[in-house]
Amino acid sequence: MEATALNETAKIISQAQKEGRKALLETEAKTICMEYGIPVTKFKLAKNVGEAVEFAEQLGYPVVLKIVSPDILHKSDSGGVIVNLKSKTEVQDAYGKTLENAKRYKATAKIAGVLVQEMAPQSTEVIVGAVKDPQFGQTLMFGLGGVFVEILKDVTFKIAPITREDAREMVTGIKAYPLLKGYRNTPATDVDAILNILLNASRLVMDNPQIKELDLNPVLAYEKGAKTVDARIILE
Ligand code: ADP
Ligand code: MG
């Protein structure tokens, strides 16, 4: 493939602005992530059920299917995420289901297609985010996924741009940090991989001041490496 430099991000953002869209599609947000060296699950956008099966076979089972719609921001709320599909028939069924569920959730929702993506093995889920604070500008956030962020509010913040040392303080600063260091039969996660994502996210939002919110939720953290399975970007 040709080197794309940092052109894809600018193109995606200006195209969305032209169309009056504030929320980027998952495909767009992940393409931007890739340009900034943030690892994401492999994906392909299917426009029909035949393509969905073709892409699933290219990626290898199991796969995940997700609805892609500018009108559906929280995909699982709409029944738009179906994980762990292991065969052609499961993909065919799930393809129909995601579309049906989307229609039921919001009859007028425009559908860009159905995203077929590699299924990332389960692991500790972390969240890397950024918000543009009216006073401090781009501000990064880190926490563990699920209840840790939503209920316990166990998160750390730093104003961008951040250094590697800042990133390390964000990660070690959460109360749940011992969980990342490994416990019982859960192995330690690759903290360096998480630091790289934080640093790249910092670069991404500093380079693109039109971004109001970045939400990598979740990022699966492994013994070796980390992978973003969902990315959301909201423009000003
Ligand atoms: P949304 O946040 O819009 O509801 P997500 O893309 O985050 O949708 O999907 C919901 C959940 O499904 C995720 O939090 C994650 O647990 C799981 N999931 C989504 N995509 C994948 C994937 N590619 N591999 C493994 N799990 C996934
Ligand atoms: Mg998500």
pLDDT of residue 103: 95
Q: What is the mean pLDDT of residues 142-167?
A: 91
Q: Given ligand 1 and candidates 59, 81, 123, 216, which is best to mutate, with the most ligand atoms within 8 Å of its CB?
A: 81
Helix (H, G, I), strand (E, B) or coil at 3: coil
Check whether 6 has a pLDDT greater than 70. no
The pLDDT of residue 152 is above 70 = yes
Mean pLDDT (whole number) for 71-82: 95
What whole-number distance in Å separates Cα of residue 38 and Cα of residue 214? 13
Cβ count within 10 A of residue 134: 6
What spacing in Å lies between the alpha carbon of 92 and ligand 1's midpoint?
A: 19
Please state whether beta strands 226-228 and 211-221 pair in parallel, antiparallel, or not at all (unpaired).
antiparallel
User: Does the structure show a pLDDT above 80 at 200?
Assistant: yes
The residue count for the chain = 236
For the chain, what is the mean pLDDT?
Answer: 95
Check whether 184 has a pLDDT greater than 90.
no
Q: Which residues line ligand 1 (CB under 6 A)?
A: 41, 64, 66, 74-76, 81, 83, 117, 119-120, 218, 229-230
| Atom 2 of ligand 1, residue of closest alpha carbon | 74
How many angstroms separate the alpha carbon of residue 136 from the centre of ligand 1? Answer: 31
The whole-number pLDDT of residue 165 equals: 98
Whether the model pTM is above 0.85: yes
> How does residue 5 score in pLDDT terms, banded at 50, 70 and 90?
low
pLDDT, average across residues 170-190:
91
Query: Is pLDDT above 90 for 1?
Result: no
74 CA: nearest ligand 1 atom: 3
Is residue 41 a contact partner of residue 229, using CB atoms and an 8 Å limit?
yes
Decide: 219 and 230 in contact? Cβ < 8 Å. Answer: no
pLDDT digits (tens, 9 = 90+) for 60-70: 999 999 999 99
Does the structure show a pLDDT above 60 at 159? Answer: yes
Distance 12 CA to ligand 1 centre (A): 23
Please report the pLDDT score of residue 2 as a whole number: 46
Q: How far is the CA of 2 from the centre of ligand 2 (A)?
A: 30
Who wins on pLDDT, 27 or 184? Answer: 27
| Range in 179-183, 204-208, 224-228 with the lowest mean pLDDT | 179-183
